[in-house]
Chains A and B, each alone.
Chain A
Amino acid sequence: MMSAQTDVEQPQDRFSTSISMRQGLVRAFIVLGVVCLAFALGTLFWLVLDVILRGTNWLDWQFLQSFDSRFPREAGIKAALYGTVWMMFFTIIMALPLGVAAAIYLEEYGREGWLKSFIQINIANLAGVPSIIYGLLGLTIFVRLFGLQRSVLAGSMTMALLILPIIVVATEEAIRAVPSSLRDASLALGASRWQTIWHHVLPEAMPGILTGNILAASRAIGETAPLITIGALTFVPFTPAGPLDRFTVLPIQIFNWTSRPQEAFQNLAAAGIILLLFVLLTMNSIAIVLRQRARRR
């Protein structure tokens, strides 16, 4: 035993014995970390500041209440704003129940085994697939095969597919975090499996489920590539009146304005970005508030 230990690397071989050197290394690492952080935050701050400086003047009631125009002063974001709200509404009502139900099945009912882990690995992989692939899928299936054309519904279904894996993974995590003693207690008192899930597991997991869902929805709001692929249009001077109407969304409108030759449209795009940021931050705040409320109970 003793002889074997002498072969093992001794602790003092692995790091310098000089205390001042080690402390110096720590300090250097802290400095490096702070520089990285400052660089990342500084860039972000600078970008946001630039957008705010450019766009604030353009952000007024008229901007929110007008359709796109070739005159920057008359152009507004109404069609895109309504398009985004319509699309998100259908995306959420499709993706949320499906995703939560799938996660409940996988966590509470699905038997452990190769099939379950196969499904879970694939869902995790799907969450990492580039969004444009979902766009191509949406184009082939929803737009062409289902004949939905470039409607709100086709866009929502594509977006629902895109965020479904994220919702499933987040919900699974939340359900897994519920202590199994809670389930055992409920079952021991004679509750059925479904009663246990509905009355104990789901309410307990609700903060996590909500956070996951709202973050997934925030991702869908900012996505442009899949919608461009399915052919969401750029000049849409009307708001959708139903799920089968054509539409445009905030990021597409912003993208379109940045590609116009007139300088003023760049500022208009900045105003659009502020609005998009506002919508995103609002959604994230709702997530935080709901989570806090659900936790307090």
Chain B
Amino acid sequence: MNMGTRWKRLLPLAAVAALATSLVACGPDDKEPEATAAANAATAAATVSPDQALKDARGKLKGEIVADGSSTVFPVTAAAAEEFRKQAKDVKISVGIAGTGGGFKKFCNGEADLQNASRTISTSEVEACKAKGIDFIELPVAFDGLAVVVSSKNTFLSCITVAELKKMWEPEAQGKIMRWNQVNPKWPDQPIKLFGAGADSGTFDYFTDAINGKAKASRGDFQASEDDNILVKGVSDDQYAIGYFGLAYYAENASKLKLVAVDAKGDGKCVTPTVATVKDASYQPLARPIFIYIKKSVAERPEVKAFVEFYLSKEFTPKIQSKEVGYIHLEDAMYATITKRFQSGATGTLFPKGQEVGATLDRYLK
């Protein structure tokens, strides 16, 4: 045997390595086409044209921003990141979906710069942040309504009281409240099929707090999923199913689902969640503000500052209420106040007791 043939036998191995190397090598050096595409999209999509100096300043920014947290707030922050990148292409913003609770764990461990939260920070999370010396700036960015939905095939339910929802969802109902007529005798003697948010989501925390009076207190025998599409599918297929999720998901699947109005006090005043009723807080108790939390120590970094200011500016906020994002934006005056709060660097939460049901954002105006 000579050396030549021996080496040939090992060639395949070298071929794999070479292939992998060449694939990686052609990695980062083709930015041109997408930069032009982004520029085109920016000119087409901009509703308010930002002044040129601001745009130029953003173009010079560099750095990384790591965002994580709620999957509910994800579309808003991802949209803001997408729009911001069109102007500041060297700022690398990534957004994860660890859930509000999972996100706060990372945020208070110093692993993220920006935390998306579909509820306010809890007292124990404040403690965890304090223990690691992490100060945060709390900023509400939009409103979200939770929709109670049934299938479009459902004929008997158009309005439900909070008391009835509680009877259906409270922990004591587990294994007992199994039929519609057990909740309200007027309803049919048919099994209730329950669909709800998974336990890691802020939606679950908020719904249980608003309806059952305690966050995370819920019956466990329902179909739970973090994936709202599964809930949509489950509810829409079954005339005796009922579920809850963010209003955005209802809007996307309005043909398959029926929105149920909610009667907060049991006095016959049924309110259907719409942009108007969520905004003026008449849709209660299932409308809530959603938040971003920014790590104080990074808030002064120019790219972080520019991004957050962009997030709260007129350039971006009208897009929050678009079909693609699906939330309800705040008043312009409110965004101006919140921007000031961010610029002043005021830390801590304005919700010292943790989550509050039916909270309005007036406190930020003071």
Q: Which residues of A contact B (CB under 8 A)?
A: 65-71, 74, 78, 82, 85-86, 88-89, 92-93, 149-150, 199, 202-203, 206, 210, 213-214, 231-241, 246, 248, 256, 258-263, 266, 286, 290, 293-294, 297
A262-B324 contact in complex given A67-B34, A88-B20, A256-B97, C-beta closer than 8 Å: yes
A206 touches B12 (CB 8 A): yes
B9 touches A203 (CB 8 A): yes
Interface residue SS majority, chain B: helix
Q: Output the residue of A234, A236, A290 with the most chain B CB within 10 A.
A: A234
Cα–Cα distance between A213 and B226 once the two chains are bound (Å): 35
B16 touches A69 (CB 8 A): no
A199-B6 contact in complex given A235-B95, A293-B12, C-beta closer than 8 Å: yes
B24 touches A89 (CB 8 A): yes
The 5 A-B pairs of least Cβ separation, nearest first, read: A203-B9, A235-B95, A261-B252, A290-B12, A70-B324
A65-B33 contact in complex given A85-B27, A199-B1, A259-B71, C-beta closer than 8 Å: yes
Chain B residues positioned under 8 Å from A86 (CB to CB): 24, 27
Q: How many A-B residue pairs have CB under 8 A?
A: 134
A239 touches B28 (CB 8 A): yes
Chain B residues positioned under 8 Å from A202 (CB to CB): 9-10
Min CB distance, A100 to chain B, in Å?
Answer: 9
A233 touches B94 (CB 8 A): yes
A261 touches B27 (CB 8 A): no
Min CB distance, B36 to chain A, in Å?
Answer: 11
Chain A residues positioned under 8 Å from B96 (CB to CB): 150, 231-235
A261-B253 contact in complex given A237-B81, A241-B28, A294-B12, C-beta closer than 8 Å: yes
Q: Is B78 an interface residue (CB 8 A)?
A: yes
B81 touches A235 (CB 8 A): yes
Chain B residues positioned under 8 Å from A89 (CB to CB): 20-21, 23-24
Q: Is B68 an interface residue (CB 8 A)?
A: yes
Min CB distance, B298 to chain A, in Å?
Answer: 14
Q: Is B354 an interface residue (CB 8 A)?
A: no
Interface residues as binary, B246-282 with A (CB distance below 8 Å gives 1, 0 otherwise): 0011011100000000000000000000000000000
Chain A residues positioned under 8 Å from B81 (CB to CB): 235, 237
Chain B residues positioned under 8 Å from A69 (CB to CB): 82
Chain B residues positioned under 8 Å from A293 (CB to CB): 12
Chain A residues positioned under 8 Å from B74 (CB to CB): 234-235
Which residue from chain A places its CB closest to the CB of B112 in the assembled complex?
A: A231
Cα–Cα distance between A266 and B5 once the two chains are bound (Å): 51
Min CB distance, B284 to chain A, in Å?
Answer: 24
A82-B75 contact in complex given A69-B82, A202-B10, A261-B326, C-beta closer than 8 Å: no
A203 touches B10 (CB 8 A): yes
B95 touches A259 (CB 8 A): no
Contacting residues of chain B (84-111) with chain A, CB-CB under 8 angstroms: 85, 92-98, 106, 111
Q: Is B8 an interface residue (CB 8 A)?
A: yes
B95 touches A206 (CB 8 A): no
Q: Is B325 an interface residue (CB 8 A)?
A: yes
Chain A residues positioned under 8 Å from B10 (CB to CB): 202-203, 206
